[in-house]
Amino acid sequence: MKTIICKVVAQTEPVYVPSKKTDSGQLAKSMIRLKELGGEYEDEYICAMFGNLALCKFAAGKTVIASLRFQTHESNGSYFQDVVANDIQNI
């Protein structure tokens, strides 16, 4: 887990994806692009947000504190990394 102060670059509209973990069988999902503070070439992250957090709107250019979880998984011999935003708070 990593907690960073960053700026919001962009956010997608929430969509509903199938989920076995919810009673309704669907879970809200949204993607957000975050950029660390500093210069033009600072690190950026494309993060998935789920549930109630996915329904929150974060304006582009807004400074936030984000708690990110990094995980990897294997599929058909290839490895992939996912970044999930566990919490995002406006500053």
More confident residue, 23 or 33: 33
- Residue 22: predicted pLDDT: 80
Q: Give the tens place of pLDDT for each residue, 24-62.
A: 889 999 999 999 998 889 999 999 999 999 999 999 999
Kindly report the three-state secondary structure assignment for every residue of 28-90: EEEEEEEEECCCCCCCEEEEEEECHHHHCCCCCCCEEEEEEEEEEEEECCEEEEEEEEEEEEE
Question: pLDDT tens for residues 61-83?
Answer: 999 999 999 999 999 999 999 99
